[in-house]
Amino acid sequence: MNADIILGGGGLASSLIALAVRAVRPKARILILDRAAGPSDSHTWSFHGPDIAPEWHVRLGPALVGNWPDQEVRFPAHARRLRAGYSSMGSEGLARLRDKAGIETLWSSEIATLGRDRAVLRDGTELTAPAILDGRGAQPGPHLVTGFQKFVGIEIECDAPHGIPRPVIMDATVPQQDGYRFIYVLPFTPTRVLIEDTRYSDGAGLSDNELAAEAMDYAASRGWRGQEVRRERGILPIALAQDAAGFWNDHADGPVPIGLRAGLFHPVTGYSLPVAVQVADLIADTQPMTTEAIRARLRSFAQRRAREDRFLRLLNRMLFRGCPGPERYRLLERFYRLPEPLIERFYAGRLTWADRARIVTGKPPIPIRAALPCLPEAPLLKGET
């Protein structure tokens, strides 16, 4: 065997699992295979303070590129500062953390196939381990029906301080276009700011130029002028219907899927860091560390999680199917009037039954006749709209 565990793909899910395994198994040989030529600073992953446990804050601390004590949201009829902290982690820093922990990464390693005990690279190299995980990113399949969160972000180094003290995770005071639209602003330094134009849309079509121009217009309207230093784009899945049991039946053999590939993301935000941390802890705690033992535990975790997330998928169906695009922001505006601890549990994926009741009580966010067709999930999985 070449390693104790091989992780296909060196993205977010694999990295967090590798770090968690290293923490409990100092002598384990952990091998990551990624097709990229080497670490890059192209990606940042953000999360809310309460999303992860204190020990993870300590573990990821050296990889953070931004860390703020609070955040805010803005809507046409309501703005609010939220007391939860917000942090952003950079991909280069995460790769450095792996190196420092003695986790081996083979760069420029395009995987051809993964099996339950081996990985074969495009150049024919074969590597073996008793545990093989597949974290090569999202792969569309029949067990997940999604809408889309699309965005283009431009990071600029401003000629003068921008004056934004904290992240604005949603500024929905902008004209509503292509579904629910908001601008996301991260002030990395007093002069550096990321401005991201985001849309919750029915279709996956994304015009980079149009969204980039909108982000720049937003910057100009705030008086921020300067040089573009980085750009990011994403089309994230927003879950409308999911059949986790069907997915895991299709993956009863071979490597264990992790991360977006296993549908492990927050149904409403498309973000995966909070659940990826939970999965990392679960896998690090699995004995023996074999493909089958990990599959058994992750399968039951993922299926339970998908059951718990039913409510969030229903909210998504109401947003995407029950509400005309220009009106969608009203659901979010209403949500952000709720108590802060509930909002924190929502992002962390820990809603209680009382929270769920609280979200849907009061004046219905959409008319009952529009909400009723959104209730069942199964028709979407059968291809009915």
Nearer to ligand FAD, 34 or 197 (CB): 34
Angle at 149 (CA atoms; ends 146, 155), nearest 5 degrees: 155
What own/partner pairs with CB < 8 Å and gap ≥ 24 does 278-287 have? Answer: 279/13, 279/16, 279/17, 280/13, 280/16, 280/17, 280/19, 280/20, 280/21, 281/20, 283/17, 283/20, 283/21, 283/133, 283/258, 284/17, 284/20, 284/21, 284/23, 284/24, 284/25, 285/24
Q: Would you state the structure tokens that stand for residue 177, as one six-digit string?
A: 């276009």
Near ligand FAD in 11-30, by CB under 6 A: 11-14
Question: What's the min distance (Å) between Cβ of 377 and ligand FAD?
Answer: 23
Omega into 274 within 30° of 0, i.e. cis?
A: no
Give the dihedral of Cα atoms 67, 259, 95, 292; nearest 10 deg: 130
* Contact pattern from residue 47 through residue 86 relative to ligand FAD, giving x for each residue in contact according to CB under 6 A and a dash for the rest: x---------------------------------------
> What is the spatial distance between Cα 185 and Cα 183, in angstroms, rounded to a whole number?
6
> What is the spatial distance between Cα 231 and Cα 266, in angstroms, rounded to a whole number?
24
Q: Would you state the structure tokens that stand for residue 36, as one six-digit string?
A: 């990229």
Out of 5, 9, 148, 294, which residue is the one contacting ligand FAD (CB under 6 A)?
Answer: 9
Contact 63, 95 (CB under 8 A): no
Regarding 46 and contact with ligand FAD (CB under 6 A), the answer is yes
Regarding 348 and contact with ligand FAD (CB under 6 A), the answer is no
* Contact pattern from residue 124 through residue 163 relative to ligand FAD, giving x for each residue in contact according to CB under 6 A and a dash for the rest: -----------xxx--------------------------
- Chain residue at closest Cβ approach to ligand FAD: 11
Question: What's the min distance (Å) between Cβ of 67 and ligand FAD?
Answer: 14
Regarding 10 and contact with ligand FAD (CB under 6 A), the answer is yes
Out of 272, 278, 290, 316, which residue is the one contacting ligand FAD (CB under 6 A)?
Answer: 272
Please work out the total of residues on this chain that contact ligand FAD, with binding judged by CB under 6 A. 30
Near ligand FAD in 171-230, by CB under 6 A: none
Near ligand FAD in 241-260, by CB under 6 A: 259-260
Regarding 87 and contact with ligand FAD (CB under 6 A), the answer is no
- List residues binding ligand FAD (CB under 6 A): 9-14, 33-36, 45-47, 109-111, 135-137, 232-234, 236, 259-261, 270-273
